[in-house]
Structure 1
Amino acid sequence: MPLSDFRMLERLPGTSHPAVFEVTFSCTCGSHHAGLVTHDALDVAPVGVGVGGKFRAGEWPWSFFCFLEGRPQPITPSALSVIAPGERLLGVAARCPVCSATSVNLVTREHLDIPFWNDAWVGVVDHVFGHDALRTIEEFRAELESSRFDERRLDLER
């Protein structure tokens, strides 16, 4: 499954060897589904064997522009947290492996799906998101869907 089909990735607490991630992905049926994937399946398997020369030459299969640091950083897919498809580009939130800040880049599908592919142009959202930004979004969604939110809204309309 290509990385561009993923929608959310979250490392699960508990095991560390191997680390386990919950992945929400977009399915050809039109729905989103959840699955579990290990660190090796997520970060190591997509690169394959025989790429040691590229690593020794300083090339990295995936890169991401960290807004806080103002420069690209090498990452692995486990650094991704949200992937939002657009008409031409994907909005990708990733945590920087150096400073742990979460930045959002706009990239092509190839940038995610093909290791060692680098887009000639990468859009960068000029904002650093907190480490709990995803939790805040999920809490906000839950609040929007709750009857409690409706009650509060009705109170405001009076």
Structure 2
Amino acid sequence: MSHSSAVAGEATYFDLHTQGLGYLNRIREICPKRGKPFLACTIAALNGPTEAPEYRYFDVTVCGAEAQQLVNRYASAVDQGRKVLMGFRLGDLWTDLFRYSRGEKAGETGVSLKARLLFVSWVKVDGKLVYQAHPKAESGDAAAEQASDTSAIAQPV
């Protein structure tokens, strides 16, 4: 947790960031009844041993012009079923309860992990590096180091 710097008269916040790598899925535009439309997607984040990783699914709101441009740029690759893996930084993690409406879990309560996608450090499409953030933009982001060693990672389910 880091404390953001305060300018005279501005509110200050405590930042909680989650970083990792994961597969980009379900890119969509959300048009709420109130408020402005926004870009959302799901990230299947990898967790655990590289030989048998597990996935943690984050339903994210894409924040910032650069992150929005990158998600939109690779939306067609996702739609074509290609594997879009990215290094990411999320902020403002929270949970949302919902009720399954169909399938074998119909009527049961589920939990969704929600966050804001703040930064994309790199992107690989089908194992080929197609985007790398400028080093100064990363400000010490360790996820970029993971970009070079992702060839043995399992595909999302």
Normalising TM by the smaller chain, what interval?
A: under 0.3
| TM-score when normalising by structure 2 | 0.26
Which has more radius of gyration?
Answer: 1
Q: Greater helix percent: which structure?
A: 1
Superposition TM-score, scaled by structure 1 size: 0.26
